[in-house]
C-alpha cells in the first residue's frame, strides 16, 4: 500500500509575514547584484551569492551540530531539480536587470504572480477565491501606474524578464509542494549548494578579482539571498502559493525607496499613487486571510 502523503496544516499569518520579509530580502539581493553588475558578469555574481549564502548553513550544520539539515526525506530528486532551476532563474533574473531599468524589470517580474495562481490550481489543486484574484489584479494595476509605460518595448529585455518570471512561478509552486515533505532549511541549503556547483564551472572563464569596496556587496548579495530563500520556504510551507505571491508586489516599493536613498531619484506622483495601490492590495489580502484563519 503506498504511503499516504502528509496533510499540510497552514499557518497563513506566519506564511504572509515571512513572505513579506522574503521579498524585501530579494529586493536587497537584486540591489547588491545591480551594483556589482558594472564590473562582474551575472554568472560570477550568482556564484558568490550562492557560495556566501551556503556559509551560514555550513556553520549551523557543523559548528552547531544540526546535521539533520542535510537529510533529505522523500523528495531528493525534486529538491535537487528545484535547486538547478533556481540557479538558472537567478542568472536570468540578474541578466534581465542588466538589460533594462530597475523599475521596468521589477514590474515585468511581477508577471510571476499571474502565473502562480494558474499553476497552483492545475498542479496543487488549490482553491483561489475572488479576494485573492482581486488582490492580484489590484496590485498589478498599481504596478502599471508606477512604471508609467511609454509604449517603447525592448524585445530581448522583455523576453528575458518574462522567462525569469515564469521560472519564479515554477519555483514557488515547487516550494509549496516540497514544504509538505522537507524542512525549509534543508530546501534552502541544497538550493545554495547546487547553485554554487553549477556556477563554479564557468568561474575560471568569467571571474574578475573583486575590489575592497565590492566585498561588502558580495557578502550582502549572499546573506540577503540566504535569508530570502529561508523565509520564502517557510512562507510556502504555511500559506497557499497564490497568497504568498501577492507580496511580490512590495518589491516595487523597495525599489523606489532604494532609488531615492542611493541614486537620489525622487519618486514621481504616479509612483506614490501606484505604491499606495500595491500596499492596499496587500492589506486586503492580509485582512481577509487573517479573518479566515481565525474562523477556521
How does pLDDT run across 236-268, given as a tens digit for each residue?
888 876 678 778 778 878 887 887 788 776 666
Q: Which of 12, 287, 285 is nearest to 136 (CA)?
A: 285
Contacts of 190 (CB under 8 A, 6+ apart): 72, 79, 80, 83
Distance of CA 38 to CAs 35, 95, 195, Å?
6, 12, 22
Residue 218 has pLDDT above 70, yes or no: yes
Mean pLDDT of 199-223: 91
Residue 149 has pLDDT above 70, yes or no: no
Q: Are 131 and 288 in contact (CB under 8 A)?
A: yes
For the CA atoms of 200, 204, 205, 207, the dihedral, rounded to the nearest 10 degrees, stands at 80
CA–CA separation, 153 and 91 (whole Å): 22
CA–CA separation, 89 and 76 (whole Å): 20
pTM strictly above 0.85: no
Q: Are 86 and 138 in contact (CB under 8 A)?
A: no
| pLDDT at residue 5, as a whole number | 45
Cell numbers at residue 3, please?
504511503
Band the pLDDT of 152: cuts 50, 70, 90: low
Amino acid at each position: 500500500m503506498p504511503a499516504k502523503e502528509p496533510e499540510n496544516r497552514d499557518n497563513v499569518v506566519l506564511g504572509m509575514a515571512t513572505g513579506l520579509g522574503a521579498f524585501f530580502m530579494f529586493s536587497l539581493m537584486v540591489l547588491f547584484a545591480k551594483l556589482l553588475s558594472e564590473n562582474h558578469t551575472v554568472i560570477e555574481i550568482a556564484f558568490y551569492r550562492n557560495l556566501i549564502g551556503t556559509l551560514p548553513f555550513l556553520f549551523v550544520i557543523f559548528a552547531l551540530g544540526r546535521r539533520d539539515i542535510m537529510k533529505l526525506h522523500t523528495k531528493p530528486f525534486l529538491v535537487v531539480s528545484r535547486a538547478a532551476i533556481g540557479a538558472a532563474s537567478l542568472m536570468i533574473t540578474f541578466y534581465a536587470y542588466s538589460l533594462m531599468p530597475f523599475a521596468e524589470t521589477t514590474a515585468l517580474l511581477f508577471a510571476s504572480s499571474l502565473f502562480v495562481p494558474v499553476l497552483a490550481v492545475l498542479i496543487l489543486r488549490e482553491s483561489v477565491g475572488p479576494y485573492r484574484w482581486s488582490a492580484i489584479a489590484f496590485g498589478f494595476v498599481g504596478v502599471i501606474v508606477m512604471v508609467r509605460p511609454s509604449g517603447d518595448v525592448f524585445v530581448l529585455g522583455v523576453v528575458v524578464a518574462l522567462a525569469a518570471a515564469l521560472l519564479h512561478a515554477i519555483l514557488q509552486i515547487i516550494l509549496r509542494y516540497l514544504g509538505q515533505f522537507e524542512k525549509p532549511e534543508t530546501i534552502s541549503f541544497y538550493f545554495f549548494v547546487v547553485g554554487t556547483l553549477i556556477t563554479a564551472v564557468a568561474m575560471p572563464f568569467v571571474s574578475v578579482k573583486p575590489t575592497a569596496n565590492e566585498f561588502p556587496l558580495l557578502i550582502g548579495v549572499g546573506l540577503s539571498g540566504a535569508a530570502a530563500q529561508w523565509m520564502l520556504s517557510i512562507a510556502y510551507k504555511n500559506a497557499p502559493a497564490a497568497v504568498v505571491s501577492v507580496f511580490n508586489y512590495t518589491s516595487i516599493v523597495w525599489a523606489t525607496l532604494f532609488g531615492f536613498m542611493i541614486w537620489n531619484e525622487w519618486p514621481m506622483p504616479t509612483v506614490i499613487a501606484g505604491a499606495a495601490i500595491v500596499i492596499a492590495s496587500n492589506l486586503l489580502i492580509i485582512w481577509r486571510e487573517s479573518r479566515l484563519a481565525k474562523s477556521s
